[in-house]
A = this chain, B = another copy of it.
Amino acid sequence: MLTPKLQMLERTLKRLIRRGASQPLENVLAKAHAADLGYLLPHFTNNEQSQLIAYAGDDERRAQIIAAAEIDVAARLLEALPRDRAVELLQYVAPDDASDLLQQMSEEVADELLQRMRGEERDEVEELHRYDSETAGGIMSPRFFALNRDMTAAQAIVELQRVHDEMEMVFYVYVVNEVEQLLGVVSLRQLVTTKPETTLFELMTSEIVSVEPDEDQEEVAKIASRYGLLAVPVVDDANKLLGIVTVDDVIDVLREEATEDILRMAGAGDELAEQEGVLKAALSRAPWLLIVAVGGVVGAALLATYSTRFASFIPIVSLVPFVLGLSGVIGLQGATVMTQRMLVGRLGGRLWPSVLSQSVIGLLLGVLFGALCGLIFWIWNAHLSAGPPNGLSLLGASAALGAAVAAAMTLAATVGALLPTVFHRGRVDPALAAGPIGAIAVDLLALLAFLALGSVWL
């Protein structure tokens, strides 16, 4: 999934490392973007990674490259370095990123690195450590630009020039009172385009959207996105400003959560990073599979019960994978469409029309594929001398089977569409409806409908 440009960069770097060509390696590294190098890091072996870092300019740039990599890749790389080197690089990483990196390491290493960090930076990181890493407090930066309400625009600009180097991203000036309570916000542009003697208090917007430090990071991202904010202030319950969540963190959260949602839907929760180990992955999947297994046993009981009826006419039982395959897919589609509509706030008061339209889609496709199934059944068995049971004609039996398939698919589409709402009302994550639990529920009901109708009609 690399662009041609990145593929070329990867190949060049690998070749230069293999040849031990240190001068050309330094040149190529100096010209490449730190973000590209960080993105490519997992494509190199541990040994190659150390070489890349060693030849990549100064420590500030090394830290940029590491911070640009996926968090677990970066943490593993830092863990592999001598402790004092790791600490030197960590000093250049923004406190919120440094805090995340330490949380990805073994507790022992994290503690050792933290003890060796400089006082002020250690305090910042330890402050962030107090909050869960997936909350506003865990992802906020403690380096915001807050000024007293009585300052003028001109004074604020002087102050901005003074703090210049410490703050990477200044979008807003936060206006506070003597006890650091958040009063309002002034954009950098307002500051530049107003009369120099205006005070911040006069200039500021006091309608301000803020979050508490224990707010879920996904909620913070939604707020930033909905209100078009470049930074969301985080305040404690006395309205004291603690930090800001900036738009780059919001983008990271959105990307992270999109991936997490898809994995959670499949019942494969935290398996993106590989170092977790197969045993842990297997254990976390086992409960989902157990639910499916219980469903499978019920299915087996159903099939065993009905099989004795159909024993003389095996082709009906043979159609079970056909019915399960089609019902499973159409049920999954219904569940996915409804879940996504819920997530983007589309359903509103329109739940039932939405479910009904999924049922109609199920019915339309059920009739189509039921007819196909009946046709295939008819052709398949045309040569059989023994007719179907119950004295039905082969044509009648084919039609009955097709109708059973159509019914099963309509039911599957309806159940799939209903599950996310049922889950939501029962305080279960609706996304699970499009995963293993939803799949087995849809499978069982479709199987029951198919076998029950088949046994009545045939």
Chain A contact residues, CB within 8 Å of chain B = 1-2, 33, 35-36, 39, 42-45, 68, 70, 73, 157, 160-161, 164, 170, 188-189, 191-193, 207, 209, 224-228, 230, 247-248, 250-252, 254-255, 257-259, 261-263, 265-268, 271-274, 278-279, 281-282, 285-286, 288-289, 292-293, 295-297, 299-304, 307-308, 311, 314-315, 317-326, 328-330, 332-333, 336-337, 339-350, 353-354, 357, 360-361, 364-365, 368-369, 372-373, 376, 424, 434, 436, 439-440, 443-444, 447
Contacts and interface: CB of A to CB of B under 8 A. Distances in A.
A342 B164 CA distance: 39
B337 A160 contact: no
B369 A293 contact: yes
A158 to B, nearest CB: 10
A439 B279 CA distance: 24
Given A161-B192, A193-B164, A279-B364, A317 B328 contact: no
Contact of A274 (B293, B297, B304, B357): B357
21 contacts: A1-B343, A1-B345, A35-B228, A39-B345, A42-B350, A191-B192, A259-B343, A261-B262, A266-B333, A266-B434, A272-B340, A274-B357, A282-B365, A285-B333, A285-B361, A289-B326, A296-B323, A296-B325, A300-B319, A303-B317, A303-B321
Contacts of A440: 325, 329
Contact of A266 (B286, B300, B332): B332
B328 A439 contact: yes
Given A254-B254, A340-B262, A227 B317 contact: no
A343 B73 CA distance: 15
A304 B209 CA distance: 64
Given A266-B332, A266-B336, 4 more contacts: A39-B226, A188-B189, A262-B339, A300-B321
Contacts of A42: 345-348, 350
Enumerate the 5 nearest inter-chain pairs by beta-carbon distance, A residue then B residue, closest first. A296-B322, A299-B321, A258-B258, A43-B348, A266-B336
Contacts of A330: 285, 289
Q: How many copies does the complex hold?
A: 2
A342 B160 contact: no
Contact of A299 (B262, B299, B322): B322
Contact of A443 (B226, B281, B308, B321): B321
Nearest to A221: B251
Given A227-B33, A343-B259, A300 B315 contact: yes
B344 A70 contact: yes
Contacts of A353: 274
Contact of A346 (B70, B224, B296, B439): B70
Contacts of A323: 296
B364 A325 contact: no
Contacts of A303: 317-318, 320-321
A274 B308 CA distance: 44
A293 to B, nearest CB: 5
A226 B35 contact: yes
Contact of A282 (B228, B257, B308, B361): B361
A267 to B, nearest CB: 6
B320 A314 contact: no
B255 A225 contact: yes
Contact of A272 (B33, B192, B318, B346): B346
A235 to B, nearest CB: 16
Contacts of A297: 322, 376
A357 B272 CA distance: 12
A268 B1 contact: no
Nearest to A44: B348
A170 B157 CA distance: 17
A73 B251 CA distance: 25
Contacts of A447: 321
A2 B345 CA distance: 8
A293 B372 contact: yes
B227 A35 contact: yes
B263 A326 contact: no
A326 B301 CA distance: 16
Contacts of A257: 258
A369 B286 CA distance: 9
